[in-house]
Structure 1
Amino acid sequence: MNRKDFLKRSLIIGGLLATSSPQSFARKRKMSVRLIRHATLWIEIGGVNLLVDPMLSPKDAMAPVQNAGNNYRIPMVDLPLSSDEIKSLVSQCDAVLVTHTHRDHWDSEAHAMIPKNKPIFCQPSDLEKIRELGFENAVAIASDYAFKGLSITRTGGQHGTGEIGQLMGTVSGFVVGAGEEKLYVAGDTIWCSEVETAIVTHKPSAIVVNAGAAQFLKGDPITMTLPDIEKVLQTSGKAKVIAVHMDTVNHCLLHKIDVTQYASENNLTKRLLVPADGEVVSV
């Protein structure tokens, strides 16, 4: 290639780069969700990495959930990654998203491991307790927030019904968007009007539901059951539904194998995904 042709080619390439912002390149990247364990997720969207609901304690480190009919210590399974790999993820994430501060979503191991200057996004009712732990860059998202080209919108939910639902406290979900790609992390909620509104309003490409049908000896389930997941599928059009929050905490009675079997029997294996711990799902 002579010098004239080289300069011409360089100008063409330079022009293409100049008219394509970093955000436009980021939007072309596929969104992915990696289940670490339970409700702990590693989300890559728009070139940004989010760590969601970190419960990083080793197996059996915490006392069981009480009034659940068994005494299995939690977490009931090991993390799928080594300690060094977990530390690497914590270091690499751009921010941490905490849907609520129950210990199976935000535990003492996470408090100790996550750098205190890391951005932490949370619901308003949890801001003070997170800041009291020393996280100086904790931000309460009341409705909408922009971060590194992402849009983050808080949604409502119901962590159970009746008196138990009230005792469980405020919970939130979050819709994270990059261009046309939107991921709805529903959080600890049953099927309710808030979830339906979030799906209809935001039309997410994918939805992460906390299944497990968690339940105490008295009262109704406080996280999604199979019928709840079915309603999510019916309402969300072609969106992929990723079921997590199973086989790790002793009051979760719905198991991964149950949801996998349901998906198979109903020809939903391409829409209803049940990742193994450590597995990456591209959406």
Structure 2
Amino acid sequence: MKITQLRNATAIISIGAMRILVDPMLAPKGALPPLRLLGERVRNPLVELPPSAETELETVTHCLITHCQKGHFDHLDRAAKRWLREKQIPVICTPHDAQHLRQRGLNVQPLPEHHAAPQPFFGGTIRTVRCTHGRGMVGLLMEHGVGYFIEMPGEPSLYLSGDTILTDTVRSFIAHHQPDVAVIPAGGAKFDLGHEIIMDAEEVLEFCRGFGGITVANHLEALGHCPVTRAQLASAARHAGLGSRLLIPADGETLEFSAVQAAA
């Protein structure tokens, strides 16, 4: 299995012959609006896609969406919708998002209604895990979406957490299923008011302490409301003695995992 980090939450998961594009944000730098109203109002994304992105995207066979409604352009923007529509890439999503995506002309292949239980997935299984995209008043306004747990024969098991803070649901899922690799958001995204809406550095370290597998951090240095940097997170992990278990890929970097390596 390979994970190619493109930008923010956008990545390509390579499993066998499949190349699964996750939560695509494909707009050029500065093409999308600010996500904060106070202070410095920077346009998003803060960085361009890596130079390798065009070549990587040409190999994509499927797309996987964790959430996309209520203005979450950082997981599916107009450029990505146009690209998916032109290529007619099969888009896997929850039934909740299916009609929304069909109305935009996408080739939608929704999971069944009971998607929290294992469902057939290209010779393996996929299931969803509930996300909590913020707590308190800000949480009431958010689209919470899902994470995905993918198990394929001969491959490391993979948990894509989606946009979530660290909750008892996440802790319980990790403890029960013990995935080999977990991809989690680490940018500490926060609006002008309220709490963080994804994990920050402190919650990432707590996640790693309670998790025996390899953690991959994303959602970093691409959006104006995500203050955590790669350098800050790496330093915190080293000081906590977790540096070898937390991977922080650069945009354009590919990480490769084998079932034996992930279990070590």
TM, length-normalised to structure 2: 0.89
Q: Is 1:74 aligned to residue 41 of structure 2?
A: no
Q: Return the alpha-carbon distance in structure 1 between the equivalents of residues 144 and 240 of structure 2.
A: 34
CA-to-aligned-CA distance 1:23-65 (integer Å, 9 cap, x gap): xxxxxxxx22111010001111244211101000010011111
Which among 228, 233, 236 is matched to residue 262 of structure 1?
236
Superposed displacement of residue 136, structure 1: 3.2
Whether the 8 Å CA contact 1:68–1:216 is kept in 2: the answer is: no
Q: Is 1:275 aligned to residue 255 of structure 2?
A: no
Whether the 8 Å CA contact 1:35–1:275 is kept in 2: the answer is: yes
Which among 119, 122, 143 is matched to residue 90 of structure 2?
119
Q: Return the alpha-carbon distance in structure 2 between the equivalents of residues 266 and 242 of structure 1.
A: 16
Q: Return the alpha-carbon distance in structure 1 between the equivalents of residues 159 and 120 of structure 2.
A: 16
Whether the 8 Å CA contact 1:152–1:174 is kept in 2: the answer is: yes
* Deviates further, 66-75 or 166-175: 66-75
CA-to-aligned-CA distance 1:152-173 (integer Å, 9 cap, x gap): 1111110000121121122210
Q: Name the structure with the higher helix share.
A: 1
CA-to-aligned-CA distance 1:241-275 (integer Å, 9 cap, x gap): 11110111101011111111112223322211111
CA-to-aligned-CA distance 1:63-110 (integer Å, 9 cap, x gap): 11133632111000011025xx52x43342221001111100100000
Which among 9, 12, 31 is matched to residue 61 of structure 1?
31
TM, length-normalised to structure 1: 0.83
Aligned pairs for 1:185-200 (under 5 A) are 185-200=160-175
SS of structure 2 residue aligned to 1:92: coil
* Deviates further, 106-115 or 64-73: 64-73
Whether the 8 Å CA contact 1:211–1:225 is kept in 2: the answer is: yes
Q: Is 1:99 aligned to residue 66 of structure 2?
A: yes
Say what the alpha-carbon RMSD is for the aligned residues: 1.7
Compared CA separation, residues 48 and 165, structure 1 to 2 (3 A): same
Q: Return the alpha-carbon distance in structure 1 between the equivalents of residues 146 and 21 of structure 2.
A: 16
Residue equivalent to 1:16: none
Residue equivalent to 1:164: 138
Q: Return the alpha-carbon distance in structure 2 between the equivalents of residues 65 and 152 of structure 1.
A: 32
Letter of the 2:140 counterpart: Q
Q: Return the alpha-carbon distance in structure 1 between the equivalents of residues 231 and 198 of structure 2.
A: 17
Fraction of identical pairs, as percent: 33
Q: Return the alpha-carbon distance in structure 1 between the equivalents of residues 38 and 89 of structure 2.
A: 35
Uncovered stretches (5+) of structure 2, i.e. residues with no partner: 258-264
Residue equivalent to 1:253: 227
Q: Return the alpha-carbon distance in structure 2 between the equivalents of residues 207 and 250 of structure 1.
A: 24
Q: Return the alpha-carbon distance in structure 2 between the equivalents of residues 45 and 271 of structure 1.
A: 21
Which among 18, 24, 28 is matched to residue 48 of structure 1?
18
